[in-house]
Chains A and B, each alone.
Chain A
Amino acid sequence: AMEDGLRPGPRISEGDCAVLKRDDVFKAVPVLRRRKIIFEKQWFYLDNAIGHIYGTTFEVTSGGNLQPKQEVEEATTETKEAGTDNRNIVDDGKSQKLTHDDIKALKDKGIKGQEIVQQLIENSTTFRDKTEFAQDKYIKKKKKKYEAVITIVKPSTRILSTMYYAREPGKINHLRYDTLAQMLTLGNIRAGNKMIVMETCAGLVLGAVMERMGGNLAFQCGFDSFALIGYGSIIQMYPGGGPVRAATSCFGFPKLFFDNLHEFPLSKVDSLLSGTFSTETLPSEPEDNVLAEEESNGLTDEKQTALQETEEESTTEVAMEINQTEEQETMDVNAEDVDFKENKEKENKENVREKQRKQWERRKKLIETAALLREKNADGLIVASKFHPTPLLLSLLEFVAPSRPFVVYCQYKEPLLECYTKLRERGGVVNLKLSETWLRNYQVLPDRSHPKLTMSGGGGYLLSGITVVLDKGKSDSSNSEALKMEEPSSKRCKVQDLHC
C-alpha cells in the first residue's frame, strides 16, 4: 500500500458509519472517539483511525490503539525445507516446544504477532518435515490467531449484505446476498424509478435499493443539481408503529437521500384502495406525546425481534453497534420527555407546540405519500418480509404501472407456490418465475483448487414477474397462455424467429 498522505480517497471521519473487516468477518460500527470496540476477541479504540483513508489496514497495539500496518517484506524462511508426505509424522502432542505459559509471556511482553508466529515455527519440531502446503496452512492458521490486524472499509450493499447474512441472518429472514443481488436486477432498480418497497429485513433491502437509485449522485453533481436530476422516489410500506431502518443507517447515506424516501403504514393500504382513507383515522392521535409513543413502539418492535433471535440462535453475537446507538438515542429522547414534564409550564407549552408541529408535518407527509400511491404508476415493487406474500402482492400490485417488474422474496418455497397460483388467477402479470440461486465459493491456490468445504444451504426463494394491463373481463385470461404456464418446458412450442 502507498503512503496515506499520497493516496486520494475518502477519509475516515468522526460520526461516519464504517465497517471493520478481518478476513471474511465484518462488523458495522459508528466512528466515535473514546469508545471501546470489541471485534473478533480484540478490543480497541477508533480514535487513531480518524483521518486515515478507507481501506487502510491497522494493527492493534497495546492499550487498544490502532496503528496503520507497515507493509513488511515477508521473512522468507532461509533455505526452504519441506517433506514430501506425512508417513513419519506422529502426533505425540509434543511437537511444539513452547508451552502455553511461554506464549502468554510473549504476548504480555507486547511482542508483535508476526514474531510470535516466527517463534512458533522455530519451536515446532515437525514443521520442517511437513509438506510445503502443510507449512503454508500452518503459518496461515497461526497468523490468523496471533496477528491482530483489522481493515476499516466503507459500507456498501456488498459488505453489509454479506455481514448481515453471516452475523444476523434471522434479522433479514435469511436473505442471502446473492438473492438480494437477484432482486435488485430482476426489479430493474435504477436512478429515476418510483419504487414501492415492503420489507422486514431491518432496512437492508431498503438500503440496497437506495444505493442503486442514489449512488454517487449527491457527491458528483452537488446538492442543487442532485435535487434537479433526482434519483427517483421510494415508498416504504411498513407494518406496526414505524419502519425499522437499523441496517439502512449502516450505509451512511447523506441526509439528502432521505428527502425522497416516503413511508406508508400497511394497515392503511386497504382503506387507500377502497377510497375510504383519511388521515383523521390515523392510529396515533392527538395527545402531545405522540412522537415519544411511536418511537417507543418502534423500539419494542426491535427488541422483540432481537429476543426471538436470541432464542433461535443463542450463540450468535447479536445487535450491531449501530443498533445499540440507535436504541440509545431513542432512550435519550424518552428521558428528555420526562425532564420536560418536570419543567415549567411555559416550556411545556412550547414543547406541546413543537410536538403539534411535528405531528402536522408527519400528517402532511402521509397525505403526500397517499397521493403518490393513488397515482398507481409505480415503476416496481419489492417485497421481502416475514409475512405471507400473497395478500401483500394482491394489494400492493394495484399501485404499480403496467409493464413494470416486481420481485417477492420468501424464506420458504411453499407460500410462493400459493402466491404464484393466486397471481395467475388474478391476471395482470406475465413472465412469472419462481427461482432460487445457489452460491459456491472456491479456494484457488496453485495445485490446490477446489470448491470450499461448506456452502450455504438456503438463501431463500424469489417469485418475479412483469405487470401488464389488467383485463377486467376475466374470460379471456383462459386463453392459451394460462394453460401453457403450467406445462412442462419441454412441451413449450418455440416461436419461430420472426424479427421484422
Chain B
Amino acid sequence: MSFVEYGDTIKDGDTAIVFLGHESMFPVKVQHGTVTQTKYGVIRHSTDLIGKKYGSKVTCSKGGWVFILHPTPELWTMNLPHRTQILYSTDISIITMMLELKPGSVVCESGTGSGSLSHALIRTVAPTGHLYTVEFHQQRAEKAREEFREHGVEHLVTVTNQDVCKNGFGVSNIADAVFLDIPSPWEAIGHAKSALKAEGGRICSFSPCIEQVQRTCLAMEEYGFTEINTLEILLRVYNVRTISLQIPDLGKAAEENSSTDFDSSNPSNQGSPCANLQQGTVQFKSGVPLREMVGHTGYLTFATKS
C-alpha cells in the first residue's frame, strides 16, 4: 500500500480505511498483534486484515461486518485527524485542475495544515513531481512529516518549518504552481512569484473572507500576475429516496377515480412501482438535497505568471 500506488492485499504497516456504513469510517494502522474496536466487535489485525484483499468484507467478533478499503487521498480527507480546518475534495478538485497539475509538476504549498490537500497534490504529481510545503507551526510540520513517512510518500515531499510570508518557500524558479491557504496571502505573493519557474506558472489562493481576496487580487496585479479570476465552488449532495405523495380526495366517485389514472399512462413511469391510486398515493424516486449543506468554504483566486 502507498498513497500513490494501489496494492492488492493488506500488509503490516499499511494505513487502511475501515468502512462501517454510509459515510461512517475511520483509518487504521495495520500492525501484527493489534486489535481494533468497532461497534460490530473486534477486528484482529493478524488474522482479520493482514494478507486479505483490499475491498474484502471482514466479519467482526459480534457477527457484524465491515469493509476494508485501500486508502486514497479522498478517503484520507474524510478521515484524517484534524489539526486545523482542512480543504475538502470539492475545492481540491478545482484547485488541481485550475493549477494544471499532473505527473511531474512541481508545487509549492503553504500552510501544510493537516495535510488534506498535500496528500491530493502528491498523488497527482507522482511519480516524478515534487511538493514543497511550508508550515510555520513546528508541531504541525513534524506531524505532517511523520504522516508522509507512514504513507510511503516522503520521497515526493519536502516539509519546511518557516514563515512563508517572511521567508518564502525556500526554493526559487522551480515551481509550476503555488497554492496559498494562509490568513494573509497578499504578504506571500512576492515569494510565490519567485518560487515559480521563470517561464511562468499558476497560482491559487484560498480565503474565506472577501476582504482577504480583495487584498490578494491587488497584490497579484502589483506583481504582474495575469488572468486573475476568483470563484467559489459548492457541493450539493442528494439522498436517493422513494417518496410517496397522497392523492387528494376531490370528492370524485370511486369508479371514476380509477379511470383517471393520469400517472400510470405516463410512459416514463411504466415498469416502476409508481401509481397506486386505489390506495390514493403516487410513488417516485427523488434526489433529495440534504437538509443542511455547506454554503461557503472559501473563495479561490487563480492567476497566471507569464
From residue A482, how far is it (CB to closest CB) to chain B in Å? Answer: 9
Flag the segment in A76-84, A124-132, A184-192 that touches B: A184-192
Flag the segment in A29-37, A286-294, A415-423 that touches B: A415-423
| CB of B255 within 8 Å of the partner chain | no
**CB closest chain-B residue, reference A433:** B237
- Whether A485 and B22, one on each chain, are in contact in the complex, defined by CB atoms closer than 8 angstroms, is yes
Residues of B within 8 A of A229 (CB): 127-128
Instruction: Determine the distance from Cα of A187 to Cα of B286 in the docked complex, in whole angstroms.
Output: 25
Central interface residue in A8, A190, A214, A414, by most chain B CB within 10 Å: A190
Q: How many A-B residue pairs have CB under 8 A?
A: 250
Residues of A within 8 A of B287 (CB): 413, 416-417, 434, 461
Given contacts A413-B238, A434-B240, contact A190 B128 (CB under 8 A): no
Residues of B within 8 A of A476 (CB): 65
| CB of A276 within 8 Å of the partner chain | no
- Whether B98 and A158, one on each chain, are in contact in the complex, defined by CB atoms closer than 8 angstroms, is yes
- Whether B199 and A9, one on each chain, are in contact in the complex, defined by CB atoms closer than 8 angstroms, is yes
- Whether A185 and B120, one on each chain, are in contact in the complex, defined by CB atoms closer than 8 angstroms, is yes
Residues of B within 8 A of A193 (CB): 6
- Whether A436 and B238, one on each chain, are in contact in the complex, defined by CB atoms closer than 8 angstroms, is yes
Among the listed B5, B65, B97, which residue makes an inter-chain contact with A157, where contact means beta carbons less than 8 Å apart? Answer: B97
Residues of A within 8 A of B20 (CB): 495
Flag the segment in B23-31, B157-165, B187-195 that touches A: B23-31
From residue A458, how far is it (CB to closest CB) to chain B in Å? Answer: 12
Central interface residue in A188, A231, A379, A480, by most chain B CB within 10 Å: A188
Instruction: Determine the distance from Cα of A268 to Cα of B199 in the docked complex, in whole angstroms.
Output: 47
- Whether A498 and B37, one on each chain, are in contact in the complex, defined by CB atoms closer than 8 angstroms, is yes
Instruction: Determine the distance from Cα of A38 to Cα of B8 in the docked complex, in whole angstroms.
Output: 53
Instruction: Determine the distance from Cα of A273 to Cα of B257 in the docked complex, in whole angstroms.
Output: 48
| CB of A442 within 8 Å of the partner chain | yes
Interface string of A167-208 (1 = CB under 8 A from B): 000000000011011101110101111000000000000000
Instruction: Determine the distance from Cα of A469 to Cα of B67 in the docked complex, in whole angstroms.
Output: 9
| CB of A1 within 8 Å of the partner chain | yes
- Whether B240 and A214, one on each chain, are in contact in the complex, defined by CB atoms closer than 8 angstroms, is no
Instruction: Determine the distance from Cα of A8 to Cα of B176 in the docked complex, in whole angstroms.
Output: 13
Among the listed A156, A185, A191, A498, which residue makes an inter-chain contact with B100, where contact means beta carbons less than 8 Å apart? Answer: A156
Interface residues of A in 441-500 (CB under 8 A from B): 441-442, 444, 446, 449, 461, 466-469, 471, 476, 479-481, 484-490, 492-500
- Whether A467 and B103, one on each chain, are in contact in the complex, defined by CB atoms closer than 8 angstroms, is no
Residues of B within 8 A of A352 (CB): none
Report the interface size for chain A: residues with CB under 8 A from the other chain: 91
Interface residues of A in 78-117 (CB under 8 A from B): none
| CB of B138 within 8 Å of the partner chain | no
- Whether B120 and A438, one on each chain, are in contact in the complex, defined by CB atoms closer than 8 angstroms, is no
Central interface residue in A53, A178, A211, A379, by most chain B CB within 10 Å: A178
- Whether B234 and A440, one on each chain, are in contact in the complex, defined by CB atoms closer than 8 angstroms, is yes
| CB of B184 within 8 Å of the partner chain | no
| CB of B84 within 8 Å of the partner chain | no
| CB of A145 within 8 Å of the partner chain | no
Residues of A within 8 A of B96 (CB): 181, 184-185
- Whether A401 and B200, one on each chain, are in contact in the complex, defined by CB atoms closer than 8 angstroms, is no
Instruction: Determine the distance from Cα of A218 to Cα of B213 in the docked complex, in whole angstroms.
Output: 37
Interface string of B275-306 (1 = CB under 8 A from A): 00000000001110011000000010100101
| CB of A252 within 8 Å of the partner chain | no
Interface string of B233-259 (1 = CB under 8 A from A): 111111111100000000000000000
- Whether A500 and B39, one on each chain, are in contact in the complex, defined by CB atoms closer than 8 angstroms, is no
Among the listed B34, B56, B238, which residue makes an inter-chain contact with A435, where contact means beta carbons less than 8 Å apart? Answer: B238
Residues of A within 8 A of B242 (CB): 486
Given contacts A7-B198, A484-B21, contact A190 B126 (CB under 8 A): yes
| CB of A430 within 8 Å of the partner chain | yes
Instruction: Determine the distance from Cα of A487 to Cα of B241 in the docked complex, in whole angstroms.
Output: 8
Given contacts A158-B100, A497-B26, contact A188 B55 (CB under 8 A): no
- Whether B6 and A379, one on each chain, are in contact in the complex, defined by CB atoms closer than 8 angstroms, is yes
From residue A202, how far is it (CB to closest CB) to chain B in Å? Answer: 18
Interface residues of B in 216-241 (CB under 8 A from A): 217-218, 228-241
**CB closest chain-B residue, reference A480:** B21
From residue A100, how far is it (CB to closest CB) to chain B in Å? Answer: 33
- Whether A417 and B285, one on each chain, are in contact in the complex, defined by CB atoms closer than 8 angstroms, is yes
- Whether B198 and A8, one on each chain, are in contact in the complex, defined by CB atoms closer than 8 angstroms, is yes
- Whether A438 and B22, one on each chain, are in contact in the complex, defined by CB atoms closer than 8 angstroms, is no
Residues of A within 8 A of B129 (CB): 215-216
12 contacts between A and B (CB under 8 A): A7-B198, A9-B198, A55-B306, A180-B97, A191-B127, A192-B6, A216-B129, A401-B6, A402-B53, A403-B68, A437-B233, A495-B26
New A-B pairs, 19, CB < 8 Å, besides A190-B4, A495-B24: A156-B100, A180-B97, A185-B96, A188-B72, A192-B126, A215-B129, A216-B105, A377-B8, A413-B287, A431-B22, A435-B238, A438-B236, A481-B22, A485-B22, A486-B242, A488-B291, A495-B25, A499-B27, A499-B81
Q: Which B residues are closer than 8 A to A by beta carbons?
A: 4-6, 8, 19-29, 34-39, 53-57, 64-65, 67-70, 72-74, 81, 89-90, 92-94, 96-98, 100, 102-105, 120, 123-129, 197-200, 210, 213-214, 217-218, 228-242, 285-287, 290-291, 299, 301, 304, 306
For the complex of A and B, 4 pairs with smallest distance between CB atoms: A402-B55, A216-B104, A215-B102, A403-B55
